[in-house]
Amino acid sequence: MQQMPSARRNVFIIIMLGVVLTASIIASFYLGRYPISPDELGGILLSKICPIKQFWTDTMETVLFNVRLPRIVLACMIGCCLSTAGASYQGIFQNPMAAPDILGASAGAAFGAALAILNNASSSMIMVSAFTFSILSVAIVYMVSKKAKGSKILGLILSGIMVSSLFTAGTSYIKLVADPTDQLPQITYWLMGSLAGATMGHVIFAIIPMTIGLVPLVLLRWRINVLTFGDDEARTIGINAKTLRFIVIICATLITATSVSVSGMIGWVGLVIPHLARRLVGNNYKHLMPATMLFGAIFLLVVDNVSRNLLTTEIPIGILTAFIGAPFFIYLITREAGSK
């Protein structure tokens, strides 16, 4: 049988990932403490378009629109954004170990959230504080790296490590002085990452900055392709590598900061998923970027379904992504090493 050309094969894989994501979303509505049958789901959704006789309870409708729908949407959005940010950083830094938190976005968000909790802020202000400090952290990293001598990429990464350490130390101090009966457990739970309190307010807060960040990354994906070969190669075909890298960093930081601010610390998604996507469609960002986006959304949605249904008490999603991601990444790197 003749083998399918790689470009057509990659398009087919991306389409199949879209089908799997759609099936996962539909299945996610049925999972939970209050099961909703397929006909009830269809009836509730159709009732918003055309008048039909109600054969479901008001509780089911409330659970669907106020609990399950925002959580499913947010899981897909965050998984998509974190994996896209990871793939973007890996491309522009030419480093397969680059992750969304490489420039301190996650550490800054953690400090901002902890500070807001310490001051007894509302959930909305915790979100805003986490987002603000996440952006501030990366801004500090970029300003420090501008003063660094030698390789600008290396200076950026080292600055990220240094600023992350400072914000992590600040978070540790806040945990030390926080009220151990109320504030400390809340900070600790936020740091573990969870979508338990997801609302449509979270979705509305996140959707605009996520869209602003994702659209340029998708449009510029072929230029990121060029950056993987180095700045000199980019310059020969008329691409300003410095400007392009700055735009990608801004966009990837924006979607990372937004994701972390609404969900807490969720690790490994941005590191592992791009590697898995590469195994499916290769290194060409033309196909790698959409595959990574879809794969990330599927992964986090499935993990979130496990976190809320596996036990009677919900498992923070950050714990599960680490349990799944770390061993899987070990398998990937050992397999790659063994194949050489």
**pTM: predicted TM-score of the whole model, two decimal places:** 0.91
Specify whether the backbone of 34 is left (phi greater than 0), alpha (psi in -120 to 50) or beta.
beta
Q: What is the per-residue pLDDT for 130?
A: 96
pLDDT, mean of residues 302-312: 89
Burial (Cβ within 10 Å: 0-12, 13-18, ≥19) of residue 122: exposed
Q: How far apart are CA 26 and CA 281, in angstroms?
A: 26
pLDDT, mean of residues 172-198: 93
pLDDT, mean of residues 179-200: 92
First to last CA, the chain: 29
DSSP string, 65-104: IIIIHHHHHHHHHHHHHHHHHHHHHHHHTT-TT--TTTTS
pLDDT, mean of residues 294-320: 91
| Contacts of residue 115, Cβ cutoff 8 Å, sequence gap at least 6 | 129, 133, 170, 174
Residue 132 structure tokens: 């603000």
pLDDT at 148 over 60: yes
Q: How confident is the model at residue 5 (pLDDT cuts 50, 70, 90)?
A: low
Q: What is the per-residue pLDDT for 1?
A: 35
Q: Are 83 and 295 a contacting pair, CB within 8 Å?
A: yes
Q: How far apart are CA 126 and CA 222, in angstroms?
A: 37
**Of the candidates 136, 101, 267, which has an alpha carbon nearest to the alpha carbon of residue 191?**
267
Please give the DSSP secondary-structure letter assigned to residue 289.
H
**Of the candidates 282, 256, 290, 283, which has an alpha carbon nearest to the alpha carbon of residue 270?**
256
For residue range 66-109, what is the model confidence (pLDDT) as tens digits? 889 999 999 999 999 999 999 999 998 888 888 888 899 999 99
Q: How far apart are CA 99 and CA 96, in angstroms?
A: 8
Q: What is the per-residue pLDDT for 339?
A: 52
Q: How far apart are CA 135 and CA 133, in angstroms?
A: 5
DSSP string, 182-248: THHHHHHHHHH---TT--HHHHHHHHHHHHHHHHHHHHTHHHHHHHTT-HHHHHHTT--HHHHHHHH
Four-CA torsion 184, 187, 192, 194, nearest 10 degrees: 120
User: Which segment of 20-24, 59-63, 106-110, 258-262 scores lowest on mean pLDDT?
Assistant: 59-63
Residue % of the chain over a pLDDT of 90:
59
Name the packing angle between helices 69-92 and 241-263 (round to 10°).
150
How far is residue 171 from each of residues 130, 227, 263, measured CA to CA in Å?
A: 12, 35, 17
Q: How far apart are CA 226 and CA 146, in angstroms?
A: 23
Rounded (5°) CA angle 117-121-123: 90
